[in-house]
Structure 1
Amino acid sequence: MITPVTDVIPLASNFLVPNGTFIVELIAFVIIVFLLFKYIVPPIDRAMTARQDAIRQQFADLDKAKEEANSAKDEFEAQIADARKEAARIREDAREQGAAIIAEMREQAQTEANRIVEHGKTQIEAERQQAVASLRAEVGALATGLAGRIVGESLEDDARQSRVVERFLAELETGDPVAAVQATPAQQPQAAAVAEAPVREFPGAVKAPADGSQPDGYIVKGNAESMLYHAPGGRWYDTTQAEYWFRSEEDAIAAGFTKAGTRKKSAE
């Protein structure tokens, strides 16, 4: 059997068979690769390595900054806590100092008030003593003279005058000056002195009995020395010893007497 003969492809046109162009291209590729790894890749690799190192350093710096921030935060919180404690202590100290100052000021105020009160009492007592001394000096002579005129005897004796003044002032403090005069040690002889005095006649009046009794129907007391009369209910009615008795105030006024206490009011 005879095999048919096909067309044969020349070797120069087969791409699988290396030729001169292929070899040149291969050599050029190798040179390019060499140049790349020799001059291009190392700088790029170094740049990438440096970038990675920079990124790692940044992360490290970030971690360090975070740690420092946390440490600063803890320190700040500790300082805040200390500041709060210090502020609380200062407030407590201020409160205690304020309370102490208030207590001291109250004590000083109370002491000053007590001193003022005591000073006032002392001053009042001194003024009282001064007033009593002045009253004794001014009223003593009047009291002894008036008492002497009432009882009809002299009270120039110092001891007697002193007793009269003391009793007069004591009665003045009770608000009864007439009783002060009539309460003198010479009060007992007063009735006799009145009885021995010259009898004066007044219309509508009767002379007081020697025993000091009150005549029937006569209710108004009269004093011829002062020409004053005392009606029942008057301030000095009970303590006044009558020289004359009247049936009524009208009789006393008709006889020339004046009601006790009205002269002072008229003068005012």
Structure 2
Amino acid sequence: MRSDRHTASPALKIAAIGGLLFLHLPILLIFAYAFTTEEKSYQWPPPGFTLKWFGVAWERPDVWQALTLSLKVGAIATAIALVLGTLAAAAVSRSKFFGREAISLLVILPIALPGIITGIALRSAFSILDIPFSMWTIILGHATFCVVVVYNNAVARFRRTSGSLIEASYDLGADGFQTFRHVILPNIATALLAGGMLAFALSFDEVIVTTFTGGQQSTLPIWMLEELIRPRQRPVTNVVAMIVVLATFLPILAAYYLTRDGDQIAGGGK
């Protein structure tokens, strides 16, 4: 039996490898510079390798403060996004009303706008309302685009979930909460989990919106940006960059595996 798949040409393979190297080689350089013995400049190849900077980063309280703030902001912003994004997705996908498409566009608009526009708008709003800049203003800023990520995942899964399952649940005597718990939630759970992981990853490494909404607060990416202008202990910044890469890569990888078989939904048919 002949296979429908064609073997890629050598030129196409070389182009694919070149593209991957272009995307990921700079990240590997960050990993290499995290182990360098040179303190104030970047040299290639590195003059030597050491684990010293991991200990230095571990002992610096400003790193821990920035990391703790990033984790808090990411967790709370993701929780807000899961609630609002799921409710918005349910309203848009399961109901028909005038202006539904316009509302859907308004929900996804924040992630399409440049971050600097969102940051300026939020800073102006906080200033007009006389809201002091704090961790909560950062959370509100991050929630604006985290909601979009959860919404996109949830609305796609809602649309692939058969409405007959919900109707059957009501016919069998279940109320709205029981239907959501036993029918809807199991069908959208992986989409919500994937959306939450992606939202957390976006929040964890956000810089522009945080710059306008953070005041004197420094999340881990802001801390890295400030450290890059200092000539001392630059490898510490690369050590922290490794943490950021891992903290964002792992949720994205998990989200990919959770959603790659999203077409196989209970009641959704083929």
Settle same-fold status: TM greater than 0.5.
Answer: no
Greater strand share, 1 or 2?
1
Please state which band the TM-score falls in when normalised by the shorter chain.
under 0.3
Greater gyration radius: 1
Q: TM-score, normalised by structure 1?
A: 0.16
